[in-house]
Amino acid sequence: SAVISQKPSRDICQRGTSLTIQCQVDSQVTMMFWYRQQPGQSLTLIATANQGSEATYESGFVIDKFPISRPNLTFSTLTVSNMSPEDSSIYLCSVAEGSGEKLFFGSGTQLSVL
Amino acid sequence: QKEVEQNSGPLSVPEGAIASLNCTYSDRGSQSFFWYRQYSGKSPELIMFIYSNGDKEDGRFTAQLNKASQYVSLLIRDSQPSDSATYLCAVLMDSNYQLIWGAGTKLIIKP
């Protein structure tokens, strides 16, 4: 499976600031996804990062709050903008292999907003 | 009704016994089913996937799928303390080709 590097691994941020999370894959992948996992809960898909086009956002997530870049087939960033304590969560980058159903995850970014 | 349901647990199983984890889903047309293991503070890791009715075995792990009853199970034989983790069930919904996640079952293997 692909090796996925995600950074930062954790950060503590002030309310109103922004944080950009980076995801680097060691091979070219078509589909990359950004998930959020709040404490004790399951995974919620934020958006699908498409190379060369706008990301596709899920219900409840908007581009102004979570802008995503996908400049090539091995890299993507997710920015959490104008943060509030409600954004405190683990953010996970994932890639799909095979027919696009099997997901593999980066190590995650634990974000705390004060 | 949630689309993918799991008992949150914790499920406590003695070392060496069989741990049985269950997952039910709502979309009858779903074709692909996945089990992920997530250790505390770590990201999910794919451990099993199953597409056809019946059993699929991989080492100490067996995935069981019953499409008529709309449930998928994960059995862990000879449970080890290192199996203690949260197990997430994920189902690829036929209706919109989206991967839907259960809330996870926390498994504790007691030495």
Per-residue confidence (pLDDT) for residue B24, from 0 to 100: 96
With beta carbons under 8 A apart, name residues in chain A contacting B42: 107-108
Distance in angstroms between the alpha carbons of the first and the last residue of chain B: 36
Per-residue confidence (pLDDT) for residue A111, from 0 to 100: 97
pLDDT band at A40 (very low <50, low <70, confident <90, very high): confident
CB A41 within 8 A of CB B103: yes
Contact A101 B99 (CB under 8 A): yes
Q: Torsion angle, CA of B101/B102/B108/B109, rounded to 10 degrees?
A: -70
pLDDT tens digits along A70-104: 999 999 999 999 999 999 999 999 998 766 678 99
Given CB atoms, is A76 within the 8 Å cutoff of chain B?
A: no
Distance from CA of B11 to the nearest CA of A (A): 15
Of A35-44, A55-64, A87-96, the least confident: A35-44
pLDDT band at A51 (very low <50, low <70, confident <90, very high): confident
Contact B99 A41 (CB under 8 A): no
Distance from CA of B42 to the nearest CA of A (A): 6
Q: Mutate which of B43, B47, B88, B98 to test chain A, going by most A C-beta atoms within 10 A?
A: B43
pLDDT tens digits along B21-31: 999 999 888 88
Question: Could you tell me which residue, A69 or A31, shows the higher pLDDT?
Answer: A69
**Distance of alpha carbon B108 from alpha carbon B110, whole angstroms:** 6
CA-based nearest residue to B76, from B30, B31, B37, B32: B37
**Distance of alpha carbon B71 from alpha carbon A54, whole angstroms:** 36
Per-residue confidence (pLDDT) for residue B31, from 0 to 100: 87
Contact B44 A105 (CB under 8 A): yes
B42, B99, B104 member nearest A103 (Cβ): B99
Quick one: A16 exposed, middle or buried, by C-beta within 10 A (0-12, 13-18, 19+)? exposed
Quick one: B60 exposed, middle or buried, by C-beta within 10 A (0-12, 13-18, 19+)? middle
Q: What are phi and psi of B8, to 5 degrees?
A: -70, -20
Tens digit of pLDDT at every position of chain B (111 positions): 568 999 988 999 999 999 999 999 998 888 899 999 999 989 999 999 999 899 999 999 999 999 999 999 999 999 999 999 999 999 988 766 788 999 999 999 999
Given CB atoms, is A42 within the 8 Å cutoff of chain B?
A: yes
Q: What share of chain B is helix, strand, coil (3-state, %, to 5)?
A: 5, 55, 40
pLDDT band at A46 (very low <50, low <70, confident <90, very high): very high
Q: Which two tokens stand for residue B26?
A: 């709502």
Q: Which residues of B touch A (CB under 8 A)?
A: 32, 34, 42-46, 49, 88, 90, 92, 98-99, 101-104
CB A66 within 8 A of CB A34: yes
Q: Mutate which of A4, A9, A36, A42 to test chain B, going by most B C-beta atoms within 10 A?
A: A42
